[in-house]
Structure 1
Amino acid sequence: MKLIQLDKENFDELVTNSDKPAIVEFFSPGCGPCNALAMLLEEVADMHPEVRFAAMDTVRFPDVAWAFDVMAAPTTVKFVEGRMVTSVAGYVPRERIEELLLE
């Protein structure tokens, strides 16, 4: 499953105003660790259809990243009932992504 590409127009609808949990990767284009994490998230997304997996470009939408205290790319943020509940900066292994799903 491909990550849903977020922008200012669909972020609220798909993340903050949604009752579906979401894992959002805040990424920077051309970032090697960001690309590797995106591929990993796509694999995990296939196993967890109950969670929305998405990506937000921090270069195009820095104000959205800043609103959630994202200071580095990649940063993975979990949202539940529209609220940010946890985040982790940098590339993380599959095990950490699985832990995020349980938090």
Structure 2
Amino acid sequence: MPALHSSVIRSVTDADFGELVLAASGPVVVDFWAEWCPPCRALSPLLEQLAIAHPEVAFVALNADDNPMTAEQYRAAALPTMKVFRGGEVVKTVIGAKPKPALEQLFAEYFDQKG
């Protein structure tokens, strides 16, 4: 299946989630998504815009259908679900697609910060 996200947002899998998300030095926004999910498709370009505007935050995408172990572990049952990880722990959960201004507000505390 083709990836929903562009090269701006890195795809992660069950296999590399620990290395790319849990061991990351700064905040990571994980977008749990699926190919069949229209709100996921609507959210994707907004997250890409945020990733470009805020390079200090890593934005990654995990296809919940292809990586059910991680999606289940982090209770990402409703899609899209975004979870912010810091220091290997979930520090924020956002369920459902939101407009860009809402996303900027929800993630503002993680922007312009290091580590």
Using structure 1 for the length normalisation, give the TM-score: 0.91
Q: Which runs of 4+ in 1 moved over 6 A?
A: none
RMSD between aligned alpha carbons?
A: 1.4
Q: Which has the larger radius of gyration?
A: 2
Kindly indicate which of the two structures has a greater share of residues assigned to helix.
1
Q: Which residue in the other structure is 1:11 paired with?
A: 17
Q: How far apart are the structure 2 equivalents of 1:25 and 1:12? A: 15
Using structure 2 for the length normalisation, give the TM-score: 0.82
Unaligned runs of 5+ in 2: 1-6, 111-115
Q: Which residue in the other structure is 1:79 paired with?
A: 85
Contact 1:3–1:38 under 8 Å retained in 2:
no
Q: Which residue in the other structure is 1:64 paired with?
A: 70
Q: Which residue in the other structure is 2:99 paired with?
A: 93
Unaligned runs of 5+ in 1: none
1:19 offset after TM fit, Å?
A: 1.4
Name the count of aligned residue pairs: 103
Is structure 2 residue 58 aligned with structure 1 residue 49? no
- Identity among equivalent pairs (%): 34
Q: How far apart are the structure 2 equivalents of 1:6 and 1:99? A: 25
